[in-house]
Chain A
Amino acid sequence: KNEVEQSPQNLTAQEGEFITINCSYSVGISALHWLQQHPGGGIVSLFMLSSGKKKHGRLIATINIQEKHSSLHITASHPRDSAVYICAVMEYGNKLVFGAGTILRVKS
């Protein structure tokens, strides 16, 4: 079993839909990242969380440390949101452990 599990692996949505991507982890962490990667591109850090909830524009990230679970929500999705979304946890000692990623496609 991977230390970081994401679901779903693939997600297709219609423009305007509310999207949720989930991340569960099994190790003790100091922080959790949500990352975005467009095809063939580099990685952009969207959020870093150690507790609670963060919001940036149409993106919202939450984390429940007790349940070892985090979610990334996208409101009013748009085709430009199409990308791979990666959950990565920072173990104590600052090592990043990546999930397999969720491939999101938003159709117009």
Chain B
Amino acid sequence: DTEVTQTPKHLVMGMTNKKSLKCEQHMGHRAMYWYKQKAKKPPELMFVYSYEKLSINESVPSRFSPECPNSSLLNLHLHALQPEDSALYLCASSSRDPANYGYTFGSGTRLTVV
């Protein structure tokens, strides 16, 4: 299995809702990432987990809360989002040596906040 699977593919939520995005990989990768991508812009790094521990938080607002329950799963919990948070949320994973083995990206979750 050489894929990163993200669910759901599309999500519409109100500003008072709580929802979660899920990301799963079974490649034995020990680093996992959340990116946010606005239309016609490159992805922006949000969080990095390395060996299930949060190693990078790029000053993301607390209404986004990441969780890494085990080495295969990465969640992004959403609460009290704003319409400007509408974007494509991409998950990626990499091996311990991404310079040799690269990154694998998921297909993304298209989030719309209404």
Contact = CB atoms under 8 A, between A and B. Distances in A.
Interface string A71-90: 00000000000000010101
A13 to B, nearest CB: 20
Interface of B: 6, 31, 40-43, 45, 56, 88, 90, 92, 94, 98-108, 110
A45 B98 contact: no
Contact of A42 (B41, B42, B45, B105): B105
Task: Give the contact-size bracket for chain A.
Answer: 20 to 34
A40 B94 contact: no
A94 B31 contact: yes
Nearest to B96: A94
Interface string A37-57: 000111111001010000000
A45 B103 contact: yes
B41 to A, nearest CB: 8
